[in-house]
Amino acid sequence: MKRFLLGLGAALILLLAGAWLMRGEIAVRLMGRIYDRAMTASPADGLPDGLHVALCGSGSPMPDPSRAGPCTAVLAGQRLFVFDSGAGSVRNLSLMGLSPFRVERVFLTHFHSDHIDGLGELMLQRWAGSGATAPLLVHGPKGVETVVGGLMTAYGLDRNYRIAHHGEAVTPPAGFGGQAVAFEALSGTDDVVLIDEPDLKIRAFPVDHAPVSPAVGYIIEYKGRKAVIGGDTNVSPNVERAARGADLLVHEGLSLRLVGIQQDAAKKAGKANLAKILGDITTYHTDPEAVAALAAKAGVKTLVFTHIVPPLPLRSLEGPFLGKSRKVFKGEIRVGQDGDMFTLPAGSEDTKRTNRLKRFF
Ligand SMILES: [Zn+2]
Ligand SMILES: [Zn+2]
């Protein structure tokens, strides 16, 4: 028996040593399998029919190594939509299995740079990766034409290089860039209906991000499930109205307490400009406790914070970030992370959270 165990131990050591020596080749085979799967995968693979809301970027303009700029992806059944396109979010989309090639339309909430600085990359990826023959539709309040046109100008030289290199069949000139679809969204007026189909409705509504105007949020309804994206906003009765009875509210959060600490540090360091900006931003964003109160009044089921300000490098800062939010709002609260996906199956009241950035590991 002892000899058998010794033999077994030696065989195991040899096996492990062999695997260690072959680790590069094993990793290459694994990589091949991951690519095989990724190349043939569809964004909705493995998901029930329903509304799926995912954070392709939960950050803000402040540098945060764990968060891309603002971006929320929505899968309604098989159809993929993107709301805002911040820096780093297009890479997240790919890593989350929500291929930029499959994006049907983009919706912008407003034109602060952090919400549009991934849009050029998204338009280019979707065109070159899918051989699109028509530009990407980019919905937004008035001003969206300027943003889309400007990015197309900036990417114009790259467009020509790609066509020269890959040929018109692979990169059809007519599919380059985006097509702006501007709408009016004024306070006190009705929501703007952007998609009105039997199973899918997408509407825009004005929010309060003054002096940034227009600025909007979006209501997405699919087969009886409802999600609302607040965009950048101060406490807004319009968001409360839009979010009434929503299964999911994705709302920005700026902690007044934590930004106050940043501002004090800026003052102590004699950085008057930065201190002024850190004071100004508190007037057009919303503290998490106020969001929680709004969500409670609106009867929201799940509240997800995104556009997290300031960055939270330690998970233990989530408590101070939320303050008394959990006392105010009794539903599920999540301080959003990049990769989070909230699945709202059709014909059900369930909400399930997964993280699409962690699925391969
Ligand atoms: Zn923003
Ligand atoms: Zn903004």
Which position has the higher pLDDT, 146 or 38? 146
- Could you tell me the pTM of the whole model? 0.94
| Interval 129-154 mean pLDDT | 97
- Ligand 2 geometric centre to CA of 232 (Å): 5
Alpha helices in the chain (DSSP H): 2-21, 23-40, 89-95, 113-116, 119-130, 144-154, 156-166, 237-242, 256-268, 272-280, 288-298, 318-322, 325-328
Catalytic member of 114, 247, 287, 338: 114
Average pLDDT over residues 84-96: 97
Asked if residue 4 has pLDDT above 90, the reply is: no
Per-residue pLDDT tens digits for 213-257: 999 999 999 999 999 999 999 999 999 999 999 999 999 999 999
Q: Which ligand is nearest to the CA of 115?
A: 1
3-state class of 361 per DSSP?
Answer: coil
**Ligand with the closest atom to the CA of 60:** 1
Q: Which ligand is nearest to the CA of 284?
A: 2
State which fold the 47-355 domain adopts: Metallo-beta-lactamase; Chain A (3.60.15)
Q: What are the tens digits of pLDDT across the range 275-318?
A: 999 999 999 999 999 999 999 999 999 999 999 999 999 999 99
CA 233/CA 214 separation, integer angstroms: 11
- How close is the Cα of 348 to the center of ligand 2, in Å? 34
Residue 43 C-alpha to ligand 1 middle, in angstroms?
Answer: 26
Q: Which residues pair with 140 in a beta bridge?
A: 182
pLDDT above 80 (res 102): yes
Distance 232 CA to ligand 1 centre (A): 6
- As a whole number, mean pLDDT of residues 148-161 equals 98
Kindly list the protein residues that place their beta carbon closer than 5 angstroms to ligand 2, a single-atom ion. Answer: 112, 232
Ligand 1 centre distance from Cα of residue 216 (Å)? 12
Give the percent of the chain with pLDDT over 70: 99
Region 157-173 average pLDDT: 97
pLDDT at res. 361: 45
200 C-alpha to center of ligand 1: Å?
27
Buried b (16+ CB within 10 A) or exposed e, 245-263: ebbbbbbbbbbbebbeebb
Q: What is the mean pLDDT of the chain?
A: 95
Is 114 labeled as catalytic in the residue annotation? Answer: yes
Per-residue model confidence (pLDDT) at position 247 = 98
Q: Which residues are close to ligand 1, an ion, with C-beta < 5 A?
A: 112, 114, 232
